[in-house]
Amino acid sequence: MEIYELTALELSAKISAGELTSPEAVDAIYNRTEALDGRLNCYIDFDKEKALEAAEAAQKRINSGEALSPLAGVPVAVKDNICTKGQRTTCASKMLGNFIPPYNATVVERLLAAGAVPCGKTNMDEFAMGSTTETSAFGAVKNPWNAQFTAGGSSGGSAAAVAADEAFIALGTDTGGSVRQPSSFCSVTGLKPTYGAVSRYGLIAYASSLEQVGTIGKNALDAAALFSVISGRDKRDSTSLSSAPIDLEAIKSTPDLKGKRIGIPADFFDDGIDSEVAERVLAAAEVLKSLGACVEHFSMPLVKYAVPVYYVIACAEASSNLSRYDGVKYGFRADGAKSMDELYVSTRSRGFGQEAKKRIMLGNFVLSGGYYDAYYKKALAAKALISSAFGEAFDKYDFLLTPVAPSTALRLGQGLQNPLQMYLGDVCTVMANIAGLPALSMPCGFSKQGMPIGAQLIGKAFAEQEILSAANAFQRATDYHLQKPSMNWGCADE
């Protein structure tokens, strides 16, 4: 077995047993990336020297017997909207093309404190706006299962890197599905934590009330281990909360799902869902049943408001968050402006891509006098209704099972041609962001074309332990997460 094929926890066990070193792990992942990334485009930057420096520091601490964390010595890929001190952080935008943060995001500080090794910045949709990575200023990420397809988005670089063994494990961010949907499309396991479980300090903001840093691993245990390292209250993010740390051993040893009640909201399976996807998710329900869970169908009609509510709130917040990019404070500045107004206009016209511009305009529209009540206020009211619908569901069920996305990965180019279809593709994931709930995506099969399909588990607030345990039990009973893309694409596939 090659080093890069190890899971993050297998790697850390080998490092702590002295069979491997952290710098050797960085080398392995760097060489793998060198070999494949010309085709896949998972990374925007991979600074090998910096990663080796961090790996050597971690290795010293491991050698000195310091008790670190379950990820001591493990290289972790970091999505490029998470600030890394002294290392370019672009948000896949021309606007921040040369931005070098003077500080680390809290999640990066926590990786370092845990002896993990930030290693490479992954490609994404510009400002995390998109579902395919095609809005990236650095070109789209290709799906390791078939390079004619997208890897999903916006954390497509992180998910594809883990799927292609270009990363042992990765951080992504999820505002409306950006950890779960690419995880589903690439057949890896992705966790979006409860709102407030992880600090957003140093995460470049898109829609602050919806987003969280999430974890992407080769299996549920890896995703859990990374979550245990990054979660917890941070005084620099007033929306972060302290919660009981998750217990990895307990997740690992959950024998079955006896006594668990799982609800399947029928409305998540409406017309727009591909029959192959519905079939695989319902087959996953049977596996959960065979593990002792009691599975029941119920109705959650508010799903039909999910996409409009999400896009109104996300665009409103984006228009405010992105107003800081004016050519003065950060990043790109257009040359030749003769006045302040001209500087703003030409910087933003040239610095932002199409999708970011569209969302800034939509956001300004829904917040403007005369439309605020009709759109933004209504969206907030619907958000409250959606949260209470989940509250009612969780009176009856421990967690919910749904598809992650209505289809498998789109072909490259398909999403940009039909943006409405792309937005509708977020229907299953945005619900958890709107309600601030934890949710994960786990591999549950493949389409006839051989493209991965994921199932989503949504839990009660701060029930990460519960959904990760269920996902681990599912993975002990199935082998979808163990299947690997062959990556033998012919030239015609590229």
Q: Point out which residues bind ligand GLN (CB under 6 A).
A: 128-131, 154, 174-178, 206, 314, 426
Q: Are 405 and 428 in contact (CB under 8 A)?
A: yes
DSSP state of 490: -
79 noted as active-site residue: yes
| Beta carbon nearer to ligand GLN, 152 or 485 | 152
Q: Which is nearer to ligand GLN, 25 or 362 (CB)?
A: 362
User: CB of residue 30 vs ligand GLN: minimum separation in angstroms?
Assistant: 27
3-state secondary structure (DSSP) of residue 320: helix
Quick check: helix, strand or coil at residue 210? Answer: coil
- Minimum CB distance to ligand GLN, residue 482 (Å): 27
Within 338-423, strands assigned E span: 399-403
CB nearer ligand GLN, residue 176 or residue 193: 176
- The span from the CA of 198 to the CA of 107, in Å, is 8
DSSP letter for each residue of 152-166: -SSTHHHHHHHHTTS
Catalytic choice (79, 121, 260, 383): 79
Contact 205, 172 (CB under 8 A): no
Nearer to ligand GLN (CB atom), residue 206 or residue 462: 206
Q: How far is the CB of 412 from ligand GLN (least distance, A)?
A: 16
The residue number whose beta carbon is nearest to ligand GLN equals: 178
Among 178, 183, 187, 469, the one annotated catalytic: 178
3-class secondary-structure state, position 29: helix
Phi, psi of 426 (to 5 degrees): -90, 5
Residue type, 44: I
Q: Tell the smallest beta-carbon distance from residue 173 to ligand GLN (Å).
A: 6
Q: With the C-alpha atoms ordered 358, 364, 365, 367, is the resulting torsion angle positive or negative?
A: positive
Between residues 178 and 231, which has the closer beta carbon with respect to ligand GLN?
178
What SS3 class is residue 346?
helix
Which member of 154, 183, 407, 469 is catalytic? 154
**Shortest distance, position 358 Cβ to ligand GLN, whole Å:** 11
- Taking the complex as a whole, how short is the minimal distance between the CB of residue 355 and ligand GLN, in angstroms? 8
Residue with Cβ nearer ligand GLN (131 or 146)? 131
Identify which of 411, 474, 410 has the alpha carbon closest to the alpha carbon of residue 445. 474
Task: Return the structure tokens found at 25.
Answer: 């792990």
Give the ranges where 254-332 is alpha helix by DSSP (H): 275-290, 306-321
In the complex, minimum distance from the CB of residue 146 to ligand GLN, in angstroms, rounded to a whole number: 21
178 a catalytic residue: yes
Q: Which residue has the tokens 């850390």?
A: 12
* Calpha distance 337→165 (Å, rounded): 46
Tell me which amino acid residue 83 is.
C
- d(C-alpha 171, C-alpha 109), whole Å: 13
Specify the residue, 123 or 154, whose C-beta has the smaller distance to ligand GLN: 154
Active site residues: 79, 154, 178
